[in-house]
């Protein structure tokens, strides 16, 4: 991408939006053409059939030809298998991570995930928001459960890396939810969980699978809207918005050079605390490269404008924006 492009064009690349319906909406069309949108996330609401999805994705990518930088889109979905699958008709839905975990087999896991990725790629989806690397070590967890490969960090690390290798034969894989969402009794879709273990325990359990995924070359890592007091001293500040978690722990200590993505900024852990628009600014400041806003056109537009204003006012440095854009482009080139 040309570095002499406008600030607005750069900011657009750092955003991934969802939309309603099975056709390109006027607002999404405008975001791609004028704002240079970086990515689109699909949910079940966007998919009525495989041909429709392929045509939709074709149209979305064609629109980038009219965008300021002509950079193709990330087109993402949560196709984890089991209970979390956006494509459900005409494809081989993978078993849940827990079922794959029960096999203890890296070979089976990699093969299954490669099939999933091949089918995604055939419809024009080029990024899978999987695998889940959370450890299923809290029986009261309402959000993870069968989405996890198991309760042993070593198994989750091993099988998570195998899943990632399978996916990345055909699409970008995004490991989630860093630094962990396994040991919570709350669901961040509805409220803000806290994991209050000390740093040593986090190293042995939560961080182990992410270290393995980084070593194996995962394209992206998605952050969790979970508070980790052992890493971030500011009370109530979730990983997604924490410079300590993203810039210091993930980038510097773990050495991750890939794409840092937020979980959706319209989950209640964010909307009920910092608000989607303010959180979008805070996430980029903290070190995220791609911010997901899945539902509201109003919030999507406001976040875009607020990020532009934050750079113009000096709240976010343009150097931070350029770093993030470079990572987005590098990940796209790998695809």
Kindly provide the b/e burial profile for residues 294-313, where b requires at least 16 CB atoms within 10 angstroms of the residue's own CB: bbbbebbbbbbebbbebbee
Return d(Cα 140, Cα 30) in angstroms, integer. Answer: 43
Taking the C-alpha atoms of residue 291 and residue 261, their distance in angstroms, rounded to an integer, is 6
* The token pair that represents 292 in the structure block: 């997901």
For residue 162, the tally of other CB atoms under 10 A from its CB is 25
The residue annotated as part of the active site, out of 155, 189, 197, 243, is: 189
Query: Tokens for 114?
Result: 């490669």
Rg (CA), the chain: 18
Residue 17, C-beta contacts closer than 8 angstroms, at least 6 positions apart: 28, 31, 37, 39, 40, 41, 292, 293, 294, 300
Tokens 């903290």 label which residue? 286
**Options 78, 134, 183, 263, the catalytic residue:** 263
d(CA 21, CA 252): 41
189 is catalytic: yes
Q: Does residue 272 have an active-site annotation? A: no
Question: Active-site positions?
Answer: 189, 263
């Amino acid at each position: 991408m040309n570095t002499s492009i406008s600030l607005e064009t750069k900011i657009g690349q750092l955003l991934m939006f969802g939309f309603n319906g099975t056709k390109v909406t006027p607002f999404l069309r405008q975001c791609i053409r004028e704002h240079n949108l970086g990515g689109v996330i699909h949910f079940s609401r966007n998919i009525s059939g495989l041909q429709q999805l392929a045509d939709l994705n074709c149209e979305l990518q064609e629109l980038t030809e009219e965008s300021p930088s002509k950079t193709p889109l990330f087109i993402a979905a949560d196709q984890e298998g089991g209970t979390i699958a956006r494509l459900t008709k005409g494809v081989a839905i993978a078993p849940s991570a827990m079922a794959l975990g029960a096999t203890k087999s890296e070979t089976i896991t990699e093969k299954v995930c490669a099939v999933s990725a091949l089918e995604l790629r055939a419809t024009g989806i080029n990024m899978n928001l999987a695998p889940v690397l959370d450890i299923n070590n809290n029986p009261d967890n309402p959000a993870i459960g069968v989405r996890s490969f198991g309760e042993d960090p070593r198994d989750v690390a091993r099988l998570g890396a195998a899943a990632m290798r399978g996916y990345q034969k055909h699409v970008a894989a995004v490991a989630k939810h860093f630094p962990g969402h396994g040991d919570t009794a709350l669901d961040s879709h509805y409220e803000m969980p806290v994991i209050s273990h000390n740093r040593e325990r986090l190293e042995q359990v939560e961080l182990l699978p992410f270290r393995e995924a980084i070593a194996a070359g995962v394209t992206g890592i998605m952050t969790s809207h979970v508070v980790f007091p052992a890493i971030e001293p500011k009370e109530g500040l979730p990983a997604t918005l924490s410079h300590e978690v993203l810039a210091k722990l993930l980038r510097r200590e773990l050495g991750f050079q890939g794409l840092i993505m937020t979980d959706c900024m319209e989950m209640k852990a964010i909307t009920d605390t910092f608000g989607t628009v303010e959180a979008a600014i805070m996430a980029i400041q903290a070190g995220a490269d791609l911010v997901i806003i899945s539902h509201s056109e109003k919030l999507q537009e406001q976040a875009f404008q607020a990020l532009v204003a934050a750079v113009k006012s000096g709240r976010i440095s343009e150097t931070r924006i350029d770093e993030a854009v470079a990572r987005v482009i590098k990940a796209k080139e790998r695809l």
